[in-house]
Amino acid sequence: MALVAEEVKARAEVYHGDELCKEKSQLLLKEVGLPNGLLPLQDIEECGYDRETGFVWLKQKKSRTHKFEQIGKLVSYGTEVTAYVEQNKIKRLSGVKAKELFVWIGLSEICVDDPPTGKITFKTPTGLFRSYPVSAFEVEEKVKEVKENKEVHVKETVEVKETNLEEKKRRGMLI
């Protein structure tokens, strides 16, 4: 079942592959003022963004259930997630459900009040809603951590090599 028409794909930014799609979806969320951990999808095959209309889609190999630990909520992401994004808001959301007691309820809208430290509100098509702290949906950026660790490792390696050189010079091993 293809939810995205070819004419939409033709004018959109389209990406393929899990790693690139995760990166692009997190960047988009940050760009529109939403927490970067809002879409914890895995095995993403395709994602796209039509900047003109705000239409976004993500396709993953299989449905996924994720528990947001800070709030203790289970959220189910279907194989295709679509929405329209604008600043601090996701509208006309499809493919996402939250578990409330024993029932899975479809979500239709997500908005952030007073970003970035405020509340994030999830709404259903029937008008029901729940609000939580934005921080419950943020994840640390692993790319920065890896880069910083590499820089520290390189710095330590250079310092060790310089120390070894100085030691050899002191002992008269190097001229």
Per-residue DSSP letter, 146: H
For Cα atoms 111, 39, 1, give the angle at the middle one, nearest 5 degrees: 105
- What is the residue-level pLDDT of the chain in tens, covering all 175 positions? 456 778 888 888 999 999 999 999 999 999 999 999 999 999 999 999 999 999 999 999 999 999 999 999 999 999 999 999 999 999 999 999 999 989 999 999 999 987 667 899 999 999 999 999 998 998 876 654 555 555 555 455 455 556 566 665 666 655 5
pTM, rounded to two decimals: 0.74
Nearest residue to 13 (alpha-carbon basis) of 25, 1, 26, 3? 25
Nearest residue to 85 (alpha-carbon basis) of 116, 50, 39, 127? 50
Other CB atoms within a 10 A radius of the CB of residue 93 amount to: 20
The reply to whether omega before 115 is within 30° of 0 (cis) is: no
Structure tokens at 82: 């679509």
Nearest residue to 139 (alpha-carbon basis) of 59, 22, 54, 19? 22
- Per domain, the residue ranges of the chain are 6-137, 140-175
- Looking at 62-108, which runs of residues are DSSP E strands? 64-68, 73-86, 89-100, 103-106
